[in-house]
Structure 1
Amino acid sequence: MKSYITPYLTLLALLLVSCKTDYAELPTYTGNEQLQAVIETPAGSNHRLIYDQEQKAFVNDIMAGQDRVVQFLPYPANLGFIPSTEINRNGKGLEVLVLSERLETGTVAEVLPVGLMQLETDGELQHIVVAVPARPSERHIEATNYRALSVEYPAVKKILEEWFANANPAANTNFVGWRDERFAEKEIQRWMRL
């Protein structure tokens, strides 16, 4: 009797493994036109996690052959990517930083872009969309656009500038500037996969 059960259990296991969510293939916008963000590294963590598209799993980022651990203050917000965007040949999605309470790895959140931070890392321009939760009940920062972020929360911008400039000394990262939510939306559109 065991010989009949084993193939079925193997098939069931294969089906469960193949049913993993492919976070990179989720739509950029929900049906009600709300931008989505996939969280990789939760706020408060020092361990950089990334989404591996081949494994369809969140894994530790590797730097110099070891798990990447930020030897600085923990991440000040939730870092992830915008699904169905691609900024390089490796399939890396456009980064997004969600200003909210800690969101666990794998959380898919509806967000509002409030700006875009420009950094230069090892000579390459890097864009990070800065966003807040779309649901007002989940927001602790009440800014819903760049002007409000700048006027009501200028310290948030300074903290993010300093954190990204200092979190990885080996990367030689410099803060370049801020852009508004309209620029952020254009960048999202620019990198969306068709």
Structure 2
Amino acid sequence: MITRPSLKTIFVLTNLLFFFSCNQQQQEQEQTSSSHSVDPVAGEHHFISGYEPITNDSLVNVVIEIPAGTDAKWEVEKESGHIAWEYRDGEPRVVQYIGYPGNYGMVPRTLAGDGDTIDVLVLGAPIERGEIVETRIIGVLEMIDDDEQDDKLIAVTTDSHFNRVNNMEELDLHFRGVSTIIETWFENYKGSDFNVEIIGIRDVDRAWEILRESVEAYGN
């Protein structure tokens, strides 16, 4: 008997493929430029210690490591504070999945449960690697990665078409399917060889609780 995919599965796959097609050109440019250079991105200051996590207007500073729609895995190095291409087994790491469903980065001066800075997914059009953007936190994807807490804050910029969104309820109301895409992507992007457990998406209050805990942990 042939099992037909559910409507939810079709919906999620359709949205993921649409996102991928919209960002394919950006991803190809990213891969081309990255393949010719592995020079790290150095900011004006150390990307982890040199910037405040939260502004006076209660916006959250995010350092962009990976532009939306791309798949080369860059990250901020703890010692140098530069953004460099992550290497695994001697090879530059490329995510074996469709490109990131948002701009991926981190909040400076934070310490999360996995011993790194807290991760953030900033929704919207691609933002250049190394940019520091002021964002509004709207929620968090709580997840376990290889037995470590590895939550992903979800944020929007105030100058994007997501600027009217203040929480996950509003995101689901105005941009149907986005939260499902986020869950689906992070559950599957590492493949079946890694133990990733999605706990679920929580709203803005829980996101701020996790963020404040990470800021306090960095200061201790």
TM-score, normalised to structure 2's length? 0.73
Does the C-alpha gap of structure 1 residues 50 and 161 become closer, same or farther in structure 2, counting only changes over 3 Å?
Answer: same
1:121 aligned to 2:145?
Answer: yes
1:23 counterpart = 2:35 = no
Shift of 1:89: 8.0
Distance 2:153 2:107 in 1: 9
Equivalent residue of 1:160, what SS?
helix
Unpaired runs of 5+ residues, structure 2, are: 1-41
* Percentage of pairs with the same residue: 25
Change over 3 Å in CA distance of 1:140–1:89 after alignment to 2: closer
Please say if residues 61 and 135 of structure 2, whose CA atoms lie closer than 8 Å, have aligned partners that are also in contact.
yes
Matched residue, 1:153? 175
Cα distance between partner residues in 1 of 2:77 and 2:43: 16
Query: 1: distance between equivalents of 2:43 and 2:105?
Result: 22
- Give 2:131's aligned residue: 107
How far off its partner does 1:43 sit?
A: 0.6
Listed as ranges, the gaps of 5+ residues in structure 1 are 1-17
Residue of structure 2 in register with 1:68 after alignment: 93
Distance 2:43 2:188 in 1: 39
Q: Distance in 2 between matches of 1:141 and 1:38?
A: 19
Q: How many residues align?
A: 174
State the secondary structure of the residue aligned to 2:211: helix
Cα–Cα, structure 1 residues 64 and 86, in superposed 2: closer, same or farther, change >3 Å? Answer: same
Q: Is the 8 A contact 2:114 2:149 kept in 1?
A: no
Match of 1:144 in 2: 166
Give the secondary structure class of the aligned counterpart of 1:171. Answer: coil
> Relative to 1, partners in 2 of residues 1:171 and 1:19: Cα closer, same or farther, differing over 3 Å?
closer
Number of the residue aligned with 1:13: none
1:87: how far off? 1.9
Q: Is the contact made by 1:42 and 1:79 (CA closer than 8 Å) also made in structure 2?
A: yes
Deviation larger for 20-29 or 73-82: 20-29
How do 1:1-194 and structure 2 match up within 5 A?
A: 20-25=44-49, 26-87=51-112, 92-133=116-157, 135=158, 137-140=159-162, 142-169=164-191, 170-192=193-215, 193-194=218-219
- Letter paired with 1:21: H
CA contact (8 A) 1:22 1:53 kept: no
Q: Using the alignment, how far apart are the partners of 1:65 and 1:56 within structure 2?
A: 21
- Structure 2 distance, partners of 1:145, 1:89, is 25
Paired amino acid for 1:75: Y
2:43 touches 2:82 (CA, 8 Å); kept in 1?
A: no
| CA–CA distance in structure 1, aligned partners of residues 150 and 81 of structure 2 | 24
How far off is 1:141 after superposition?
6.1
**3-state DSSP class of the match of 1:84?**
coil
Between structures 1 and 2, the one with greater strand share: 1
CA distance in 2, matches of 1:73, 1:19: 28
Divergent runs of 4+, >4 A:
none
